[in-house]
Structure 1
């Protein structure tokens, strides 16, 4: 597809280029436009851009007072709370590199990533589970300082008072001292020393689990993050972007939310109605209360909304579009959500290594269900041969998706030896190998066929698990499905399906197996269907094939 192709359906031309900026400079620009505009809505309290910027500057000064300098790593071990934004941008104002950590990490997981990244200071919350884990890591690692925020202090005064008086068990007993400081102690009224932060500087280490071995830290620069935020903002066809209100249910520590929510809102002056974690009833109430206009989420969130009895009585008329990413959206969920709510759902695609977003279906006009849409502006792709990535895939055949664009990471932290397997050079450009098998239609819409490492080798044939999953999800009794390969003496591997059922589902495992096998190729047939109460999910709620495979094998 050429740059000038009339088949490109996003609002700006495909060859649009964006100005790389440091995130602090981008924040300053938005602040000057409207300092009093709302930035974050949190459980009944609203924070303006000026308030978050003030706290970020104060935190930057607090870091400098502790000797945190340009290039040092500052970790965030936080759910979705307002101080996440202040700590994120404040660390960058001081020239530090932010490291995101999932609040679900165990002591061992957190300690390993703190050590690998060289994190000197960690910000967390006075929630018992978080503080307990963080304090153990402080005692057993090279971590120097723990900063603890007060959840009650971020709430409206009456909610904060109720938490302190009635729910003391939900507040950790923090042992403050030289190595453990409160958020308020770190943010006194002072001005940080000037620090030159350029677009070329490293901004974020975002760890990715991958498929094998230890997680790797993707190195994302200010230029990559700022450009990707602008690429996402350019997809909006609805007019003044500063008037948008995003539903903030995705966890900020994940790259999808970092770009599609936090930085996206900041670059446009929009606001985020945030919740600490995804809880369906609270999300529905938040959408209605704050008249949310956009909702980026993962497929399991939309399924949970469909399952909730309050959906029918919730006013969703303010929503212009929902964006689904993180995992393929099952066609039945996609169709039913749009039918029940009347809200358009657009699938997109991205990776940690691409700052979050590579492609999306247009929010208005032409879109194609089951695809990940068209590339965001300024991005190029090629398809590599699945067996020999040094070659392009044969014309018209699926191949490994490789991405080139200003949002692609620099590489993995302290892993220069991985570059040869991570990137491929073609026509003087460096392309990121995604590990995803894709195909592209004549209009430039991309479909992900499967993961290269998820393909099942059945007697010399390659079976794509997603193809089998798509078929079994057509059965009205099936709610979720994962297909993995299990060892078999004669054919090497054989597909096996693991499913959960809808409440009204009454099918047996044998009935599902026979129904499925009658609809797919001989080499794709499963040896059995296993019905489970639940399937493993990742920290952002997408189905986790890696964990299932580890459990089974």
Structure 2
């Protein structure tokens, strides 16, 4: 991150606004180059969109790292369009799926560039998308960073080519975990070695490379829904729901089904000022999906459960749904 600082406009005049937890690798993306290259760091005790906008304008902030849900909340805040954000040089994002539509809106409405990172705390390689330089690749997370090696594997551990979906594994020249503390079995399961013996870390994510070397994330391997023998990727269903103007956020999980083994259920947060019922949204999405992908139910919820760095906690959604019907 420090080595890339100059490329992204860090230096003594840079001012970073930090709104994510300091213990997270997410935060280090913006904090390390700011501190190392003599810049200023402004810390928010707790994120709120209005406070972020006020601090950004007051301090003439040049850099910030936000997770996707924070971008969504800042853009939707009533003060956004009257806040002076012209000081921004680059904004960063990581930690959770960042839709192409939201990236495009950030580029259109918020001054400065936009850079997305894809990686993991364990150190299994990094991809970088410089979104303002590749506006036709916003559906991807970019290409592997210099010196990083990312590959795609099938279930048997064989490498796959461009266009083929499989598990993402990676290695980094700088920081790779030695293992999980006192969990040797989990540590071994997290590793893959290529034919030359090089060690890679399994990310647990599914993805595919295009012919230009850009990586698209399909979803989490553990979140794939197997319904009637077909693999269903929640990201496709979430995108179909997200095309409806009343949908602010959507998350899809697989729940037990006597007939199909698993079946997709969606949880939707409505956009402010919009009204829609679950059946209307289900019909809208299913009209855009294949016959094997169709959503069984759409539940309207006030908010999606999230971790401190913005990841949707799908296990909580799944467990809450099954408990309510158990």
Contiguous gaps of at least 5 residues in structure 2: none
Bigger CA drift: 530-539 or 361-370?
Answer: 361-370
Residue 430 of structure 1 pairs with residue 202 of structure 2: no
**Selected match of 1:401 from 152, 158, 168:** 168
| Deviation for aligned residue 1:467 | 1.0
SS of residue in 1 equivalent to 2:134: coil
Larger Rg: 1
Task: For CA contacts below 8 A with separation 6 or more, give which structure has more relative contact order.
Answer: 1
Q: Is the 8 A contact 2:269 2:302 kept in 1?
A: yes
Is 1:418 matched with 2:190? no
Separation in 2 of the partners of 1:420 and 1:541? 28
State the 1:340 CA deviation.
2.7
Matches within 5 A, 1:264-283: 264-283=33-52
Q: Which residue of 1 aligns with 2:287?
A: 518
Give the drift of 1:371.
1.0
Contact 1:337 1:343 in 2 (8 A): no
Supply the distance in 2 between the matched residues of 1:369 and 1:407 (Cα, whole angstroms). 27
What is the TM-score with the length of structure 1 in the denominator? Answer: 0.55
Cα distance in 1 for partners of 2:181, 2:4 equals 26
Q: What secondary structure does 1:250 align onto?
A: coil
Q: Provide the residue aligned with 1:492 in structure 2.
A: 261
Which segment drifts farther, 360-369 or 510-519?
360-369
Structure (1/2) with the larger helix percentage = 1
How well do the aligned residues superpose, as a CA RMSD in angstroms? 1.9
Offset from partner CA, 1:44-67 (integer Å, 9 cap, x none): xxxxxxxxxxxxxxxxxxxxxxxx
Per-residue displacement from partner, 1:475-523 (whole Å, max 9, x unpaired)? 1000000000111111101111110101222222111111111100111
Partner of 1:172: none
**Residue 254 of structure 1: which of 18, 24, 40 is its match?**
24
Shift of 1:363: 6.0
How far is 1:299 from its partner?
0.6
**Structure 1 gap ranges (5+):** 1-228
Q: Distance in 1 between matches of 2:162 and 2:47?
A: 43
Indicate if the aligned counterparts of 2:30 and 2:64 stay in contact, CA closer than 8 A: no
Match of 1:244 in 2: 14
The equivalences for 1:200-211 within 5 A come to none
> CA shift at 1:252, angstroms?
0.5
Is the contact made by 2:116 and 2:131 (CA closer than 8 Å) also made in structure 1? no
Does the CA-based 8 Å contact 1:231-1:377 persist in structure 2?
A: no
CA-to-partner distance for each residue in 1:215-244, whole Å, 9 max, x for gaps?
xxxxxxxxxxxxxx335536x244x63332
How many correspondences in the alignment? 319
- Residue-by-residue CA offset, 1:283-315 (whole Å, 9 max, x unaligned): 111111211111111011111112211111211
